[in-house]
Amino acid sequence: MLSIVRGGPRVLLLSGEGEWLRSVLRARFPDAEEMTPERAFERADDWHTVVAFQEGEGIGHEALFLPTMTDEVLAALVNEQPGENLRSVRLLPRIILFRVFGNADRVMEQITEDYHGRRVVVRDVLPPLLEDSVAVFFTTTPLNRRVPRDSVRDEALYIQGLPYGELVESLNGRALWYFTEGLEEHRWNEMDIRIYDSWGFYMENYARVRTVLDGLEAGFILGEGWGKDYAHILMAVRVYRLRFFSFLPPEVIKELLMGLEYGEDGTRLVDIDLYSGKNKISWGGLKEKRANRQELGILFREKLLSRLYEGDRDRLAEQESAAREAGRRSGNGVMSARRG
DSSP for 103-145, please give it. Answer: -HHHHHHHHHHHHT-EEEE-SSSSPP--TTEEEEEEESS-TTS
- 199-229 pLDDT tens trace: 778 888 999 999 999 999 999 999 999 988 7
**pLDDT at site 183:** 93
d(CA 338, CA 340): 7
Q: Mean pLDDT, to the nearest integer, of 95-101?
A: 94
* Residue 234: DSSP 8-state: T
**pLDDT at site 59:** 78
Confidence of residue 337 (pLDDT cuts 50, 70, 90): very low
Query: Which of 17 and 236 is assigned the larger pLDDT?
Result: 17
**Amino acid at position 144, single letter:** N
**pLDDT at site 232:** 61
- 272-305 pLDDT tens trace: 999 998 899 988 777 665 578 888 889 999 999 9
**pLDDT at site 340:** 38
**pLDDT at site 124:** 66
β-partners of residue 236 are 230
d(CA 13, CA 92): 7
> How many C-beta atoms surround the C-beta of residue 92 within 10 A?
20
**pLDDT at site 338:** 44
d(CA 288, CA 126): 44
d(CA 185, CA 149): 29
Q: Mean pLDDT, to the nearest integer, of 135-155?
A: 90
User: Any residues with CB less than 8 A from the CB of 117 and at least 6 apart, and which?
Assistant: 111, 136, 157, 158, 159
d(CA 319, CA 325): 10
d(CA 263, CA 286): 19
CA atoms within a 13 Å half-sphere pointing along the CA-CB vector of 86: 21
254 pLDDT higher than 60: yes
Q: How much is the pTM?
A: 0.85
102 pLDDT higher than 50: yes
Choose the weakest-confidence range: 5-14, 129-138, 177-186.
129-138
With contact defined as beta carbons under 8 Å apart, do 11 and 92 qualify?
Answer: yes
Mean pLDDT of the chain: 87
198 pLDDT higher than 80: no
- 112-121 pLDDT tens trace: 999 999 998 8
Q: Domains in the chain, ordered, with CATH? A: 5-181 (no CATH), 189-330 (3.30.70)
Distance (Å) of CA 190 to CA 7, 89, 276: 29, 50, 6
With contact defined as beta carbons under 8 Å apart, do 223 and 236 qualify?
Answer: no
3-state secondary structure of 68: coil
**pLDDT at site 94:** 87
250 pLDDT higher than 80: yes
Alpha-helical (H) ranges within the chain are 18-28, 37-43, 70-79, 104-115, 164-181, 202-215, 250-260, 293-307, 310-330
> How many C-beta atoms surround the C-beta of residue 167 within 10 A?
18
> What is the total residue count of the chain?
340
d(CA 208, CA 316): 6
Choose the weakest-confidence range: 122-126, 187-191, 200-204.
122-126
With contact defined as beta carbons under 8 Å apart, do 90 and 13 qualify?
Answer: yes
**pLDDT at site 324:** 73
Cα-to-chain-centroid distance, residue 4: 9
18 pLDDT higher than 70: yes
d(CA 192, CA 195): 10
